Amino acid sequence: MTIRVIDSGARSVEEALSQATAQLVERPDLALAQAQQLLLRAPGLPPAELIACQALRRLDKAGEALSRLSALATRGHTPPAVLWELAQAASEAGETRQAIAALGSLTRSQPGVAGGWFLLARELRKDGQVEQAWRADLSGVHAASRDPELLDAAVAMHEERLEDAAAMLEARAARVPEDPPACRLRAEIHWRSGDMSAALAMVERAVALAPGFDLARDFLIRLLLQNNRLPDALAHADILVTSPVAGPGHDLLRASVLVRLGDQEQARRIYEKLLDNDPAQPQLWQNLGHVLKTLGRQSDAIRAYREAVRHQSTMGEAWWSLANLKTIKLGVDDIAAMRQALAMIEKHGSSKAEDQFHLHFSLGKALEDAKDYGASFHHYDLGNRLRRAMVQYDAAQFSSEVAATAATFTSAFIASRGQGGCLAPDPIFIVGLPRSGSTLVEQILASHSQIEGTMELPEMMTIASRLQSRVDEGEFPDFRAMVASLTPADRRRLGEEYIDSTRIHRHTDKPLFIDKMPNNWQHVGLIRLILPNAKIVDARRHPLSCCFSGWKQHFARGQTFSYDLTDIGLYYRDYVALMAAYDEAAPGVVHRVLYEEMVGDTDRQVRQLLDHLDLPFEPACLEFYKNDRAVRTASSEQVRQPIFTSGLAQWEHYRPWLGPLMAALRPLL
C-alpha cells in the first residue's frame, strides 16, 4: 500500500507506521495509540487506519474494527490486506455473510493464497453452505500445492531428510499456526519417523482445520486402520465418500474399512457398483473375489478372480487367490497362462514386485495338483526366496524372546501375581501356527449356539506390542520386570481394553466369542494375567505337515517366519517349547486339539473340546460345514465341507527336498 505524504515529515510517518506494525502482536494497545496519532496528523491515511483496525481486533473490539474497515473498504479499490482484515473482523463479530463477501473478493483477486480459501471455507461452513465450504477447502489445498516452502519441505521428506523437513515446517508453524497442508505434511514426517501418535494428532489437526481436505482425511483413515481404530476409520470414510469431488478411490477405501470390520456384504455392494460403471478394473474384480470367497460364494469368487486375470494376465495375487481356494485345481491352460505371465514380467517388468512371487506360489500349487512334485517344489522355493528377501526376520532373536517369556511365566511367578485382571469369560482364544487346523476348530465352535465366530483379531497383539515397547524404550530392564510391574488394577484395565476394543467385531448377542489370531500363542501368559476367565485352545498339527503347509502358503501379512524352511522349523520348535513350559506352569489351562486326532475321531474330540469350555454338546458342531458364516482364512473353503483326510501327509511327496526343515525339527521328530 503506497504512502502518499507530501510534506517533509514523510520519513517520520513511514517510521511511525513501521513501529506501530511491529507492536501489533505483543502490544496492540501501543499499536493503536501510534496509529491514532498518525491519523491526527494525516486524517484518513489508509495504512494507519488498517493498523488501527488490526489493533482493535486484537483488543477484542472486532465490532468497532469492522465498522472502520467497512468504511475503509468503500474507498475505491480495496487492497487484499484490507479484505483479509475485514473478513477476520466480520468473523469474530459474528457477521458471517459479510466475512464471506470479503473472502469471496479476496480469493478472486488472490486465488493462490491458501489462507483465504481456508478462512472462506470456515465461514461458509458456519453459514450452512457445506458443499461450498468443502470446495473452498479443496481450493486452499490446491493453492498450497504451489507454496515454495511446502514444496521444499516435501522434497526433503521424499529424499528422507526428515529432520530438515521437520525444521522447515516448525519454523513455518511459528508464523502460520493454523496451516492444514503443513499439518498434513508434518503428520507424514512423524509417520515416516515411526512416531504414530504424533502423526495421528497432527493429521487429525489438519482435518479439524480443513474438514474438506480429502487427502488429509484419506491419510487419517489409513493411519486409523494401521492402529486398528476401525470405528473411527469408518466414521471418516463415511464422510470422505460424500466429498463433492468424490472418486472411486474414496469408495474403495471405505470398502477396505468395511472388510476389516467384517461387513463383507456392504463391501461387496460397493465393488459391484463400481464394476457396473467400469468393468475393466482387475483390482476391483480381485477385491470382489476376496469378499465373495469370505462369504462362501465360491463359484462367484472364481469368476471374479478369472475376470481379474482376463483383464491383467500378470496379476499374481489374483492367480494366487484362485490357487489358494484349495478346493479347485488350476488346469493345463492355467499353468501355460501363468508361465507366459512370468515370462512377460521377466521381459518387461511389473509395477508390483509381488506379482512374480505370487505367480510362483500359484504355479507351485497347480503343479502340486498335477502331481509334478519336483516342478512344484521348484516354484514354491522360488516364490519363498523372493518373498524372504523382502521381509526382516531374525530366528535367533525370536527364540531369545520366546525363551524370556517362558522363563517369566513360571508357576511361582503366576502364583505370586494373585488375583487380578478383567473377569469377563467372553473370549475363546484359538492359538497355534497358521495351517494347523485352527480354522476347522473355529468353525466347529462357531456352530455352537453360545459362541460367535469373529476373525483373527489383532487387539491382543496390539496390547502386547505396547507393553513390549516399554522395555524397548528403556522404561524396564527386561520383559519380566515389565510384566511384574503390572498391578491388579493395570491388569483389569488391560483386560477391559481388550473386551471393549473387540466389541466392534461382535454382531450377535451370543455370550462367547472366538479370537483366532494364531500368533497369540506367544501371549498365553499375558492373556491369563489380564483375562483370567478366558479359555485358550491350542490347535496343533504334525510338525512336518504344519510347517510344510505354512511354507507353501503365501500369507498376506504377519507371518514373516514362513518363507524359509529352517526359519519355520525353528519357529515351530519355539512354539512347542513355550506351550510346554506353560503346561508345566499352569496345568490344564490350555486345551490342546491335535488336527490328526480331530480328523480321525471328530465326535470324541469335539465333545472333549466343549467339555473344556464348560459347554453342552450340540450336534451342529459336527455339521460345521453347514455354517454359512464369513471365513477369511486360507482354509475358508475347506471348512465348508465335511472332514476329509487327503491332506494329512502331503509333505511326503516333497520329502527329498525337505532336508533343512527336517533338520530344524529333528528334536521333535
**pLDDT digit string (tens) for 113-136?**
999 999 999 999 999 999 999 999
Residue 3 has pLDDT above 70, yes or no: no
DSSP-assigned states of every residue in 313-325? TT-HHHHHHHHTT
Task: Walk me through the domains of the chain, giving residue ranges and CATH numbers.
Answer: 10-144 (1.25.40.10), 150-329 (1.25.40.10), 395-668 (3.40.50.300)
Residue 485's contacts (CB-CB under 8 Å, 6 or more residues apart) are 476
Q: Which of 44-53, 137-146, 268-277, 389-398 has the lowest mean pLDDT?
A: 44-53
Residue 415 has pLDDT above 50, yes or no: yes
Query: How far apart are the C-alpha atoms of 457 and 426, rounded to whole Å?
Result: 14
Query: How far apart are the C-alpha atoms of 224 and 232, rounded to whole Å?
Result: 7
Residue 561 has pLDDT above 50, yes or no: yes
Helix (H, G, I), strand (E, B) or coil at 229: coil
Please name every residue paired with 455 in a beta bridge, in sequence order, or none if there are none: 515
Residue 635 has pLDDT above 60, yes or no: no
pLDDT at 351: 60
Query: How far apart are the C-alpha atoms of 73 and 94, rounded to whole Å?
Result: 19
pLDDT at 10: 45
User: What are the contacts of 115-123 at 24+ separation with CB within 8 A?
Assistant: 115/84, 115/140, 115/176, 115/179, 116/84, 116/87, 116/140, 117/143, 118/178, 118/180, 118/209, 118/210, 119/87, 119/88, 119/91, 120/87, 121/210, 121/211, 121/212, 122/91, 123/87, 123/91, 123/96, 123/99
Query: How far apart are the C-alpha atoms of 603 and 59, rounded to whole Å?
Result: 81
The mean per-residue pLDDT over the stretch 598-610 comes to 95
Per residue in 242-262, pLDDT (tens digit) is 999 978 899 999 999 999 998
Pick the closest to residue 516 from 453, 424, 582 (CA basis): 453
Q: What is the pTM of this model?
A: 0.80
Q: How buried is 474 (Cβ within 10 angstroms: 0-12 exposed, 13-18 middle, 19+ buried)?
A: exposed
The mean per-residue pLDDT over the stretch 61-88 comes to 87
pLDDT at 644: 54
Residue 76 has pLDDT above 70, yes or no: no
Percent of the chain with pLDDT over 90: 80
CA 330 to chain centre: 33
User: In whole numbers, what is the pLDDT of the chain averaged over residues?
Assistant: 91
Percent of the chain with pLDDT over 70: 94
pLDDT-based confidence at residue 646 (cuts at 50, 70, 90): low
The mean per-residue pLDDT over the stretch 186-210 comes to 96
Helical H segments across 177-294, by residue range: 180-192, 196-209, 214-226, 230-240, 248-260, 264-277, 282-294
Helix (H, G, I), strand (E, B) or coil at 24: coil
The mean per-residue pLDDT over the stretch 565-593 comes to 97
Q: How buried is 392 (Cβ within 10 angstroms: 0-12 exposed, 13-18 middle, 19+ buried)?
A: exposed
pLDDT at 2: 40
Query: How far apart are the C-alpha atoms of 658 and 546, rounded to whole Å?
Result: 13
pLDDT at 645: 59
pLDDT at 1: 40
pLDDT at 643: 60
Query: How far apart are the C-alpha atoms of 24 and 33, rounded to whole Å?
Result: 11
Q: Which of 136-145, 561-570, 642-651 has the lowest mean pLDDT?
A: 642-651
Residue 9 has pLDDT above 90, yes or no: no
Higher-confidence residue: 87 or 648? 87
C-alpha cell at 540: 496343533
Query: How far apart are the C-alpha atoms of 43 and 5, rounded to whole Å?
Result: 11
Q: Which of 17-26, 99-108, 186-195, 331-340 has the lowest mean pLDDT?
A: 17-26
pLDDT at 556: 76
Q: How many helices (H) and strands (E) does the chain have?
A: 34, 5
Per residue in 88-104, pLDDT (tens digit) is 899 999 999 999 999 99
Residue 640 has pLDDT above 70, yes or no: no
pLDDT at 17: 87
Q: How buried is 44 (Cβ within 10 angstroms: 0-12 exposed, 13-18 middle, 19+ buried)?
A: exposed
Residue 625 has pLDDT above 90, yes or no: no
pLDDT-based confidence at residue 14 (cuts at 50, 70, 90): confident
Instruction: Supply the DSSP symbol for 246.
Output: -
Q: Give the containing element (helix H, strand E) for 582.
A: helix 565-585
